[in-house]
Structure 1
């Protein structure tokens, strides 16, 4: 997943729009970064050992107003790929 903010060039100063991505696994934060005028990439491989129950992944994206400017931020599509050896059920919601 790629995400970025933006730089707004003004006469006396530059203003930045920020874009923040937080990823949580079962409620524990595993990624937290903020992009200004750069593009950041999040990708990960998460092991799901057999017999350890459910796993919840949460992706939270936010952009915020800076100096009375509406934010200019972007994020790519989210792609989740699940591979499993056994035939037991997998639920994605």
Structure 2
């Protein structure tokens, strides 16, 4: 079980990641951060956020590898399918 200090740290990381995705979406186009670079950054940040939520807020950090692996695998699958759809749309 995580203590409050650790959960607060994870929460701050999640908020910073949310601000980063907002900045990429709103300011990124003005700065020229668009296309595959922006999509890759957003997918990586989304994966990290999903992993933090699953492991820390859902309490899966201390459970058997099977359950953690199942959820992390699902996150990887969804991310890969989104990346594939984006790559197909570029053609």
Greater relative contact order (CA < 8 Å, ≥ 6 in sequence): 1
Shorter-chain TM band = under 0.3
Q: What TM-score, normalized by structure 2, do the two folds share?
A: 0.24
Question: Which structure dedicates a bigger proportion of its chain to helix?
Answer: 2
Q: What TM-score, normalized by structure 1, do the two folds share?
A: 0.23
Question: Which structure dedicates a bigger proportion of its chain to strand?
Answer: 1
Whichever of the two has the greater Rg, that structure is 1
